[in-house]
Amino acid sequence: MNKLVILIAGIVWSWCACAQQTDTISGYHQTEDVVIIARAGSIWKPSSVITPLQRRQWIGGDVGSFLDAHGIAHQLVAGAAGAASSLRYHGLSSDHAVLTWHGLPINSVTLGTCDMSLMPLFFFDQVRLYETPSLSEGMQCGMGLTIDLRNEALEEGSSARIISGYNSMRNRLIGAEAKVSQALRGGVLSTQVRAFQQEMQNRYSYVDRYQIDKPVMWQKHQQGSFAGSHLDLEYKRGNRLLAARSWWQSKSMELPTVMGTNVQGTASQADDNLRTMLEYRWWSAKLSADAQLAYTQEKLHYLDEPYAIDSRIGSQMVWARGSLQWRVTPSWMLKSTVSEALVHVANTNYTDGQIRKTWAQYALQSHYFKKRHELDVNGSFDRRFGSEGWSAQGNYGYKLDRKAWAMAPQFNLARRFRLPDMNELFWMPGGNPLLRPELGYHGRAGILLLLGRETRTVWRIEPAVYASRVSDWIQWVPAEGSVWTPVNYRKVQTQGVELHAACEHRTDYDRTKWKLETRWNMNDVFWLDSTSAHTQRRMIYTPRFTGYQGVTVEHGVHAITLGYRCVSERFTDEMNTPHRALAAYGLCNVWYSASLKIHGAQVQLSCGVDNVFDVAYETLRLYAMPGRVLRAGLEFSFQSNKKNEPREIITLD
């Protein structure tokens, strides 16, 4: 009876759902700054940052908001939490991170229209972070962080899923997924399709502290809709795999209102993206090879009538990558990768209406591991848009494994050469074709400790220190009129210390599980004044301290998480004007989920309160953030040949 009541309530709730509101920063500049806190076990291997429990608690949620709320990332947003186009890591700029889809870079070669807040969590099976990715992964051109989005095919059987999400800002999300895996001519053909549709209003009130009488305002011009789908086909036979993937999404929305002025939001933006990929993989005991061929297409229309801006931009890219991996000895692996891309951008504001550019990257990796030692050395040579340069990286790790504890110190040194991307060079208006490439030297030292193994209470503690020195750092700044443009900062330095710790305690028979998680990051980022080598100013929008503390209790089908997220003060201008700094803030969140089985279907119910104490804060100057937000989600899933969900444990890797 209780289960039936919950089910009915969930259906009614979903029916009343409003779309999740997400906003992108206006087309003036495409980059959002995010600070990443997370670390992988081995820093050059990816780690999946979304656990099955967190997926259950965030039904209907988006990737951007999730990363922010769990202290993995700090984002700048122009409206509802989660709007971000790109990422910042260890104080590095927002352009320094790379977003990839099955290895295809999707923000650096294109127009930068990759808003993490518009990527529903359910749309991807894996969101993997590479802290110091190997340059042999191809087309990185990042300075440390890569986020790779992937979907997994079913090994056998079939599954289906329907989800619905809603929040108190009147945003609604509906999605569906189907996966089928069947034997075919000695192999296995896996098909998966996913689709979603969002309606957004983003309706919330805020106190406009930038006006003399501090009126209570309602957010306006947040209307919009968003839809997406993907189709993946994989055929695996023996030691070969052939896959065809496609990802389409379309968005149309009005952009947010700015506080402190009487001007209401006047701009709108419509995006259409299509990404398709063919992938072939072959492997043997000693050798493996893979090839990818992709075609992407983007269209963007930005309109701001009062300011007479009407930009239509389109891009197409053909991208190919091939890699060969050779296991020379059981302890030593070599890998080489070649990537080439041909990009065409059409823009109504260009002199001749279009630009064609090529991009090539050649990379080598050597990975050696023996007993407790692991050494990875990789390098790449990039040639793009008339500039070229090389990067190199070395990682060393040591593992000491004991029955009750384990320890793994890790070190990373890198020289990274980053070429300006399409967005920085050619975005109209404001793109700067005269930008110089960046050159950075980076170092990181950390240690991973596992304590209490094979007991009911396990600890995982990861402290680390890091530093970077970057020349000709690219930063978007306001230019004349309504335009932002990227410029080079002569010298930027960043250094910091971070701590990621987790503790898990299980009671008898795993009835109840407690988990405590902490993520702290202390970071200093300074740039040298262009007029004086002795003047240091703090990089804009970079908090000195970010922290997250969460407690999760799982008991039976129920799970509840109490999280506290805090961000310290941030300057918003190059002169570090004190009264224009954004105040520090702390947000308390509560998330709950229940997992039920009803007539063979798995039903997940989630609800949560973000910003429980209705704190007023800003992450981007002049843009109001919503206060307390209630959200809920419901998921029905069916699966044949269901396997038990893997047990979440804290491990060394």
Partner 1 sequence: MMKNLAILFSFGSLLLLNACKPDDVIVDNPPADTGYSTGAFVVNEGSFLQNNASITHVAEDGTVTNDVYYAQNQVELGDVLQSFTVIGDRGYAVLNNSQKVEVVDMVTMKHAGAISGLSYPRFMVSAGNNKAFVSNGSTDGTIEVVDLASNQIESSIAVGKGPQRMGVYGNDVWVCNEGGWTLDSTITIVNAASHNVIDTVFVGHRPSDIVFDQLGYAWVLCAGETFYDANWAVVGHSLAKLYRIDVAAHAVVSSIPVGLPGDHPTQLEISPDGQVLYYENNGVYRFDFVNADFPGDLIIGEARTALRIQPSTGQLWCASISDFTNPSTVYVYSATGAPLKSFTAGIGTNGIEFQ
Pairing of strands 34-36, 88-89: parallel
Does 262 interact with partner 1 (rule: CB under 8 A)? Answer: yes
Nearer to partner 1, 168 or 549 (CB): 549
Question: Smallest distance, Å, CB 541 to partner 1?
Answer: 13
CA-based max dimension of the chain: 74
> Residue 410 and residue 330: Cα distance in Å, rounded?
22
The secondary structure of residue 269, as a DSSP letter, is E
Task: Enter the tokens of residue 449.
Answer: 């400790």
Nearer to partner 1, 242 or 483 (CB): 483
Site stretch for partner 1 (CB under 8 A), options 333-341, 389-397, 440-448, 515-523: 515-523
Question: Smallest distance, Å, CB 220 to partner 1?
Answer: 15
Task: Enter the tokens of residue 40.
Answer: 């992988």
Question: Smallest distance, Å, CB 260 to partner 1?
Answer: 4
215 backbone dihedrals φ, ψ, rounded to 5°: -75, 160
75, 64 contact by CB (below 8 A)? yes
Question: Smallest distance, Å, CB 334 to partner 1?
Answer: 44
Residue in 324, 392, 497, 566 binding partner 1, rule: CB under 8 A: 566
At CA 597, angle to CA 593 and CA 599, rounded to 5?
150
Does 260 interact with partner 1 (rule: CB under 8 A)? Answer: yes
Does 79 interact with partner 1 (rule: CB under 8 A)? Answer: no
Does 584 interact with partner 1 (rule: CB under 8 A)? Answer: yes
Does 246 interact with partner 1 (rule: CB under 8 A)? Answer: no
Nearest to 378 by CA among 321, 336, 315: 336
Does 211 interact with partner 1 (rule: CB under 8 A)? Answer: yes
The secondary structure of residue 185, as a DSSP letter, is T
Residue in 282, 295, 369, 514 binding partner 1, rule: CB under 8 A: 514
Does 191 interact with partner 1 (rule: CB under 8 A)? Answer: no
Does 216 interact with partner 1 (rule: CB under 8 A)? Answer: no
> Residue 9 and residue 506: Cα distance in Å, rounded?
32
Site stretch for partner 1 (CB under 8 A), options 124-132, 179-187, 255-263, 389-397: 255-263
Q: What is the DSSP string of 137-172?
A: GSS---SS-EEEEE----SSEEEEEEEEEEETTTEE
Site stretch for partner 1 (CB under 8 A), options 119-127, 131-139, 221-229, 576-584: 576-584
The secondary structure of residue 69, as a DSSP letter, is H
Number of residues that bind partner 1 (CB under 8 A): 57
The 10 Å CB-count burial string (b at 16+, else e) for 533-564 is eeebbbbbbbbbebbbbbebebeeeebbbebe
Nearer to partner 1, 342 or 449 (CB): 449
Does 527 interact with partner 1 (rule: CB under 8 A)? Answer: no
Question: Smallest distance, Å, CB 503 to partner 1?
Answer: 7
Site stretch for partner 1 (CB under 8 A), options 336-344, 389-397, 545-553, 636-644: 545-553
Question: Smallest distance, Å, CB 584 to partner 1?
Answer: 5
Positions in 336-365 near partner 1 (CB under 8 A): 349-353
At CA 246, angle to CA 245 and CA 247, rounded to 5?
135
Residue tagged 């419509």 (tokens): 270
Burial environment of residue 225 by CB neighbours within 10 A (0 to 12, 13 to 18, 19 or more): middle
Does 461 interact with partner 1 (rule: CB under 8 A)? Answer: no
Residue in 286, 481, 630, 649 binding partner 1, rule: CB under 8 A: 481
Nearer to partner 1, 8 or 533 (CB): 533
> Residue 316 and residue 355: Cα distance in Å, rounded?
11
Half-sphere CA count of 242, side-chain side, radius 13 A = 4
Does 215 interact with partner 1 (rule: CB under 8 A)? Answer: no
> Residue 377 and residue 293: Cα distance in Å, rounded?
26
Nearer to partner 1, 261 or 640 (CB): 261
Burial environment of residue 499 by CB neighbours within 10 A (0 to 12, 13 to 18, 19 or more): middle
Residue in 193, 334, 364, 479 binding partner 1, rule: CB under 8 A: 479
Question: Smallest distance, Å, CB 568 to partner 1?
Answer: 6
SS3 247: strand
Question: Smallest distance, Å, CB 479 to partner 1?
Answer: 6
Q: Can you give the binding site for partner 1, defined by CB under 8 A?
A: 28, 209-212, 214, 258-263, 308, 349-353, 456-457, 477-483, 487, 503, 505, 514, 516, 518, 520, 545, 547, 549, 551, 564, 566-569, 573-575, 577-581, 583-586, 621-622
